[in-house]
Every structure is written in C-alpha cells, then in structure tokens.
Amino acid sequence: MEEKRMKMSRSCLMVFLLLAMVNMSLPAASQEQVAETIYVQEVDMNGTLLSGVQVIGQDAAGYSFEGVTDSNGTAIVSGLPGAWQFLFVKDGYEPLKFSSNVTETGEGVVYLQKSSQSSDNTTLAEQNSQENQTSAKSMSMQEWYNLGISMQKEGKYAEAAEAFDEVVRIDPKFAMAWYNKYVALRELGRNSEADAALSEAKNLSYDASL
C-alpha cells in the first residue's frame, strides 16, 4: 500500500513538473500582441499625408516588423508590448529613427522632413543663378554697349536701356551711352528718366547733332 502511494506521488510530481515547463514556454496573457496605426505627414500637422513610406522596426521582444504607408499615409504594424524601435524611410525625406513605449493598441503620428538633398538642389539653382549674374557682370563695357545698340535696332528698348545702364555703371563718363539710354527711355515713355540721361550726356559735352 505504501509503495503504491509513493508511485502515485512520483507520478503527480512528474505531471506537475511537466505542466510547469509547458507554462514557462507559453507567453503570458500580458504578452499578447498589440497593433500601432501610424499616420505619416510631411513636415508638421498641416503637412500632406505621405504614401510609400517604409516603416521598419523591432518590438519589445526583438521581433522585426515592417509596413508601408498607403495612399492615406497610414501603416499598421504589430508586435509584443514594450519598447519598440522605429525607422521611417522615403526618398526625398530625411530618415527618422526613434524608440517609443507601445503598451497597447493605439495610434500615432509621425512627421518627416524633406531631405537636405532637396535643399542642395535649391542651393545649386541659386548658385547657377549667381554664376549667371557674375557672368553677365563680367561682360566688358564694349559688349554691353554693342548689346544695347543691337536691342535698340530691334525695338527692344527696355533691354537696350538695361544694357546702357551697365555701360554707364562701368564708365559713368561714356557720353554716347548716356545719350542712347535717353533714346531708349524716351521710346518707353519714361520721360523723367530720359531727361536725366540726356542731361548727363550734355554735361559730358555730348553733341546730339553729331
């Protein structure tokens, strides 16, 4: 009888140990997966919702998740609750990396900033513009004068006036340029400016009758 009790005790102990091992291998109820709905916008809360943003990361247990925002700028990812790591990637925007404590199913908003490449493109355009301006300013006085005469012959008096402006900026004592500036301004109906240019030409002893 005693021997039978001992065998039953051993059997109960083995069953208890097996159950304990099974329970240890199962995730606790609190470790059920949660989902995070993420909205991605450009720059700030007033920005456009961005589609095609890759959402990559890891949940609290180190399991990877991945998603892509749809046409409404929305992506849904899921994992075990706790500290999550996020990485957001889209062409033309700065990658965004951060961690967040996700303990329950919920929603969040993320803002992406335009990449410095876009700024570099803008800077390059500005640089090209500056180079063009520098190139224009590097034209000689004679080239500006010839351009002014050419524009005047074509009836492009505004361009002619600007060209003669450059001439007298380089050489304020070039009387012929002042006179031709006067002619161009007179054709444009800018009479007060035309009179001032004619006055400068006369002060430099330019004879309009020649």
Q: Please write the tens of the pLDDT for every residue from 29-43.
A: 457 999 999 999 998
Residue 88 has pLDDT above 60, yes or no: yes
What is the CATH T-level fold of the domain 30-115, as seen in this structure?
A: Immunoglobulin-like (2.60.40)
Q: Where are the domains of the chain?
A: 30-115, 139-203
For residues 23, 29, 30, 32, the Cα torsion angle rounded to the nearest 10 degrees is 110
Q: Quick: pLDDT tens for 107-143.
A: 889 999 998 755 455 555 555 555 555 444 557 888 8
Quick: pLDDT tens for 168-182.
999 898 888 999 999
What CA–CA distances, in Å, run from 41 to 85, 95, 106, 122, 153? Answer: 19, 13, 17, 22, 56
Query: Residue 185: which of 148, 137, 136, 150 has the closest Cα?
Result: 148
Query: Does the pLDDT of residue 151 top 90, yes or no?
Result: yes
Please tell us whether the domain made up of 139-203 is placed in CATH 3.40.630.30: no
